[in-house]
Amino acid sequence: MPLSKVLEGGRATLLSISGGRQLRGRLAALGLLPGTPLEVIQNSGRGPFIVGVRGSRIVIGRGMASRIEVE
């Protein structure tokens, strides 16, 4: 399911990212790779979408979050 559907406090593992090379590269540099465990820190209404990745907090756009497939 897409990352954007994961509720606050939920955990998931990244499966794949549908997007261009550029986007995947940027996410990879920040540590978001297939197999990376994620934790959704904030996901409410129209506010920002925050995930915990490898000990840091990353804000991603909702559009992008819907293109990240997790389980």
Partner 1 sequence: MTKIKSKTLKVAVAGNPNAGKTTIFNNLTGARQRVGNYSGVTVECMEGTLRRGGLDLRVIDLPGTYSLTAFSEEELVARDYLLHESPDMVINVVDAANLERNLYLTTELLELGLPLIVVLNMSDTAREKGLTIDLAQLADRLGAPVVAAVGHRNQGTEELIETIAKIAVQQADLPRPAGVCRQSGPGVVSLAGVETGGDGALVGFGDQAEGFIKEIIDYLPESSHCRWLAVKLLEEDPEAIKEITDPETRSAVAAVAARFADEAKEASDTLMPAMRYKFIEELMELACRLTPRTGQTRTDRVDRVVLHSVWGVPIFLLMMFVVFTATFTLGNPLMYLIESGFDWMGRTIAGFWPVGAVSPLKSLLVDGVIGGVGGVMIFLPNIVLLFLAIAVLEGTGYMARAAIVMDRFMSKVGLHGKSFIPLLIGFGCTVPAIMATRTLETRRDRLITMMVLPLMSCGARLPIYALMIPAFFPVQWQGPVLWSVYVAGIVLALVLARLLRATVFRGETTPLLMELPPYRMPTPQNLLVQMWTRAWLYVQKAGTVILGAAVILWFLTFFPKPPADYPVSVEVLAAAETVTDDTQTDPLVFSAIQDEGLRQSVELSYSVAGRAGRLLEPVLEPLGFDWRIATALLGAIAAKEVFVAQLGIVFAVEEADEASEDLRSQLRRLYSPLVGLCIMLFALISTPCIATFAITRQEAGSIWWAIAQSWGLTVLAWIVTFGVHQAGLLLGLGVLSGGAT
Q: Which is nearer to partner 1, 6 or 27 (CB)?
A: 27
Within 9-68, the residues that bind partner 1 by CB under 8 A are 20-31, 33-36, 39, 41-42, 44-48, 50, 53-61, 63-64
Give CA separation, 28 vs 9, 21, 23, 24, 46, in Å: 23, 10, 8, 6, 26
Smallest gap from residue 4 Cβ to partner 1 (A): 13
Smallest gap from residue 63 Cβ to partner 1 (A): 7
Tokens of 6: 């994961």
DSSP H helices in the chain: 21-29, 62-65
